[in-house]
Every structure is written in C-alpha cells, then in structure tokens.
Amino acid sequence: MKPSIRTLVAFAALAAITGLSACSKSSDSTQAAAPASAPAANLTDLASPAAQKQIADKSLPNGDASRALADFRTIDSGNEVMFLYYGLSSLPADYDKIAQSYSRDYQTTGDSFRKQDLLKALKPRIDAAIAAAKDSRYVVLNAPGASLDAYDFTRKGFQVTNVAQPGSYQYFFDNSNYTVEYTNGADHTFIKVDDEAAARAIEEMRSHYRPLTVRLYAFAQDADPASNRVKLQILHTQLLDASGRVLVQS
C-alpha cells in the first residue's frame, strides 16, 4: 500500500526538524569546546623581572594631578635628588657620603680634624634638607636631550624621543650617584596638539632646530635602595620654547 501524500509530508517535516536539532547540537558543542582550546597564560612572561617591576610600580602611591603647578618644586641638582632619596627611603643618612657631594670644603680637605668639624656642622643642615624633601614630593624637572619627531597628522601631535623611556633614568652632573626614573614614562612620550596654529608654530621651530624644552611635573612615589634611585610618576608634560614660554601642556 502506497503512503498517502499527507504521510510523506509528515515524514519530511519530521526529518527536517531532526536535521535542525542535530545542527544546533553540533554548533553548541563546538562553542562549548572553544574556550578549552584558548592558549593558557604565559607564566614565564609574568615571572620575568620586567613584568614584576611593572606590577610593583603600579602598586606605588599616586600623586594628585589636580595639584596646582605652583606647588611643584624645581629639581635641577643631583644633591636635591639625593635628599629626596633619603627622605623617601627612610634609611639612615650616610653623612660622610652625603657631605662628600654636598660640601666642596669637606670633599677637598685632607685634614681629618677639619673634616670632623665640618661634618658636625653639616649634619643639622643635611637633616633639615632630607626632612624638607620628604615633605615636598611634588617636583618638576627639565628632561635633557629631548627631541620631537615631525608632526603626526593622524594622531595630531608630536612623538617625543629621549624622554622617560622604559628602563632609562636621569641624573645630574653635580651628583650622579642618585638618579630618577619615571614609572609611567611610556604614557608621556606623545604631546597632543589639536590646534593647527600651535602645531604649525612648533613644527616650524622643530624643523629649524630651534631649542625646545620638555618639562615634566611629577610625584615622587618611592626610593629604590638597590640603585639609589627615586621613582617618579609623571602628572603633566609641558613643551617650552627658547624663551621659556609654554607652548603646550598635557
């Protein structure tokens, strides 16, 4: 007995429903299996010294970016870095080492009694300088050797080179034993200039090799005893012309 048209239609519908259910199930299984095939985190990279340093730097205290720029004190001497280092580290002051850099008389005299007298006189001044530095952690420094690349029309600004590069540090010639590094330097290597007139003026100066200064406003976060280094967090960046006029600030 031949099946009726109605029976054939019913079988076709049932087959279609069964086929759709199978495709859906196969798709669900594929989606569920996808996460299992994702690559695992590279624990070797996370354990590298560079990665550990980044994690440690991110845990340091942060400065207040809304702080008035007038509250930032200028650092232009290695001795000022030295006092800030001892203020942040809370390590006992190495008076002999400090005096060697701080006092020309102490550094040059060969008379042990005079050296002893000088150190006795210098100790209160050294203690006061360390205490003042500890209470004044908002600082401003000029970045030596800074230069700008040509204006970037896509990003609308200037890439800064030789400033606050990862792994680099800054020092002053009068006392190079104490240095500074910037924990967020990678975030401040590009100066945004949306205003076309300002960008044209800066590009004209840059292309004609006129002096430009990059000034960094920063917060002293910590001191690293392993390297006699002060860790700074950049809060603002300024670009100045040869006369000291601020061209742009971020």
Q: Would 9 be classed as within a structural domain? A: no
Report if residue 235 sits inside a domain.
Answer: yes
Which residues span the domain enclosing 187? 68-89+137-249
> Domain for residue 204, yes or no?
yes
Q: How much is the pLDDT for 244?
A: 93
Alpha helices by DSSP H, listed for 34-111, are 43-46, 49-58, 78-89, 95-102, 104-108
pLDDT computed for residue 32 by the predictor? 38
pLDDT at site 198: 96
List the structure tokens of 2: 């031949």
pTM, two decimals, is: 0.77
Residue 83: both structure tokens together: 């006092």
Q: Compute mean pLDDT per 10 residues along the chain, 250 residues long, and list them.
A: 43 40 34 45 61 70 95 96 95 94 94 96 97 96 91 95 83 94 92 95 95 96 95 96 93
pLDDT for position 17: 38
Residue 43 within any structural domain of the chain: no
Is residue 22 in a domain? Answer: no
pLDDT at 10: 40
In a domain, 81, yes or no: yes
Spatial distance between the Cα atoms of 159 and 163, rounded to a whole number of angstroms:
10
Q: Which residues contact 246 (CB under 8 A, 6 or more apart)?
A: 238, 239, 240
Give the span between the Cα atoms of 73 and 61, in whole angstroms: 19
For 160, other C-beta atoms within 10 Å of its C-beta total 22
Residue 124 in any domain: the answer is no
Give the total number of structural domains in the chain.
1
What are residue 99's phi and psi, to 5 degrees?
A: -65, -30
Cα 118 → chain centroid: 39
Asked if residue 167 is part of any domain, the answer here is: yes
